[in-house]
Amino acid sequence: MTLLLAGDIGGTKTNLLLAIAEAPDRLQPLYQASFASAAYSDLVPMVQEFLAAAQPTESRSPVVACFGIAGPVVAGRAQLTNLPWHLSETRLAAELGIPKVALINDFAAIAYGLPGLTDADQVVIQTGEADPAAPIAILGAGTGLGEGFIIPTTQGRQVFSSEGSHADFAPQTELESELLHFLRGFYEIEHVSVERVVSGQGIAAIYAFLRDRQPEQENPALGAIATAWQLGDEQAPDLAAAVSQAALSDRDPLALQAMRIFVSAYGAEAGNLALKLLSYGGVYVAGGIAGKILPLLTDGTFLRAFQAKGRVQGLLTRMPVTIVTNHEVGLIGAGLHAAAIATQS
């Protein structure tokens, strides 16, 4: 059987998997590990460390590797959005000794991974009226915000990545308009992308905005984490995770308000992507955050913002909307795509 190497490379964490393909939509994992992305200067030493631990034999080493990258991939080259890595398929193949290496956008990897999911890996929040011939939209917040889509063809499905998360953040309320002005000053930028709001960094920034606006409501413990974050303390706890956890426990009204703004902006952007594609095939919400805040995504806030498109709201209510709770869907997709490449070789 063909040995495959798959990777899901994010700005915060990289997951690597050694596997063989059991079927077109199923992998048999052999060895898997996670790494802190920023701890490595490049992907090569990380993969070398992984393979040394996995101990594949010389006669049974990976013949195809596929890596989902958090950033655009052009002509086999990628520069990660949130990491100072410059990668190319030819260099990785030469330095790792793997005959075929493919780099794909991380949301293309998620798209390839959707057929490999089970019912337990997803939660449908709007049934809609699925059209198997229509486009499928995919987006997901993690360290940043990724977007992509699938177009059905007579040969199967064609996967496309997107950089739509760098389009403009569009405030829907007066409070969100205030947030937009805050972000311009906070980051000293003119263009505020939707990724600045709908992402882990966005949760932190929304909370920073609210604590400045309503300091009397702040929990001192969460405030200490926020202060460290604003000062750039790299040893500080993850502010986005702390805000999410405080909101889920219902013990912190400021954190809950921050997450409601985040979820509403998330739903609005999902609706924007769905309208542009007319994705009657479905809308899939993936990314590292979704599974961790499922109660907040399923309380109606996300869906109300998704549907709130004025005269064309009826179009949005027809589209199936699914939350992907398996955070390894991109890794699965990279593995399945590697298997498809091996079959074609």
Query: Residues marked as binding?
Result: 7-12
Binding residue ranges for ATP? 7-12
Q: How many CA atoms lie within 13 A of 89 on its CB side?
A: 17
Contacts of 84 by beta carbon, 8 Å cutoff, 6+ apart: none
The token duo for 80 is 């990660």
Contacts 24+ apart (CB under 8 A), 38-45: 38/11, 38/12, 38/83, 42/85, 42/87, 43/7, 43/9, 43/14, 43/67, 43/85, 43/87, 43/92, 44/92, 44/95, 44/96
Contacts 24+ apart (CB under 8 A), 226-234: 229/204
Classify 287 as helix, strand or coil.
coil
Q: Where are the beta strands (DSSP E) in the chain?
A: 3-9, 13-23, 26-36, 64-69, 73-74, 77-79, 86-88, 100-105, 122-126, 136-141, 145-153, 156-162, 282-286, 321-324
The token duo for 143 is 């360290």
